[in-house]
Amino acid sequence: MSSGVHIAFYRFVRIDDVAAFCDRLRELTDGLLGTVLVAEEGVNGMLAAPQGQIDAFISAAAEDETLGRAFDGITYKRTAYDRIPFSRMMVKAKKEIVPLGIDGLDMPARVDDVAATDVPPSEWRDLIQRDDVVVLDNRNSFEFEVGRFRGAVDPRVVNFRDFREYVEQHAPQWRDEGKQVAMYCTGGIRCEKASPWMQDLGLKVHQLQGGILNYFKEIPDADADFEGECFVFDNRVTLDTKLQDVGRDRGEIDG
């Protein structure tokens, strides 16, 4: 057991030289643990270390000549840990920082469209209780089974790419019925990637700002709306609505 700080972050921003970006990121994350994905569309990562090391990385990345455009002003979601979340440090170049499989979806150019769909945690509770709103869980089905917002729909998908098929099948009915879509995911990135594409389908889309973890952070009685725990993709496995490590073993989760 070793206490420290876990940070999760992402940003859709154009990165012209992915290889150089990765090389510099490997230098600045030396001594940290976690995974960072880099693509032409942006950066997506999770890091863990004692607080001093995390703070040093945040400052250095924001001021760095190579990384600063992506990291200066980026939003970090912080949680404390007692169980070390990761066993190694990896920086990977990818085609997408989160795969949706939609050709021609230029996320850096659609950032303003995405921002328009954000719903702060303080307004989420009222939104998801409306009769004209479909509450859509934008995660894998096993994550839904671990915990979900009350009344949410499980698209029953195995991976994020399958989400596309579910939405395409149901979009005509939602439009005909005048339904709006309120969707959520763990930290927000899957919703951000899907939002502009769903807008292009003619849907009125809302997304929970910062995802489930931000809702837990901002809403003291989050358990009034959320059943179960939130699956996280690290050694802590799940967090409760107080952002506490429940102490599960990964073998307990059928994913």
Query: Which CATH number covers residue 175?
Result: 3.40.250.10
- Same domain as 212, residue 130: yes
Q: Which residues contact 17 (CB under 8 A, 6 or more apart)?
A: none
Q: List phi, psi (to 5°) of 216.
A: -60, -40
Can you list the alpha helix ranges (DSSP code H) found in 130-188? Answer: 141-146, 160-176
Specify if 101 maps to a domain. Answer: no
- 19-28 pLDDT tens trace: 999 999 999 9
- Same domain as 188, residue 78: no
- 7-16 pLDDT tens trace: 999 999 999 9
- Same domain as 147, residue 57: no
Domains in the chain: how many in total?
Answer: 2
Structural domain for 67, as ranges: 4-93
- 35-79 pLDDT tens trace: 999 999 999 999 999 999 999 999 999 999 999 999 999 999 999
Last residue of a domain, one of 59, 93, 127: 93
Q: Pseudo-torsion of CA 220, 154, 118, 233, nearest 10°?
A: 70
- Same domain as 115, residue 212: yes
- Same domain as 246, residue 120: yes
Any idea which residues carry the catalytic annotation? 185
Residue 187 near residue 243 (C-beta atoms within 8 A): no
| Count of H-run helices and E-run strands, the chain | 9, 13
3-state secondary structure of 135: strand
- 200-212 pLDDT tens trace: 999 999 999 999 9
Last residue of a domain, one of 93, 125, 152: 93
- pTM (whole model) above 0.75: yes
Instruction: Return the CATH number at 74.
Output: 3.30.70.100
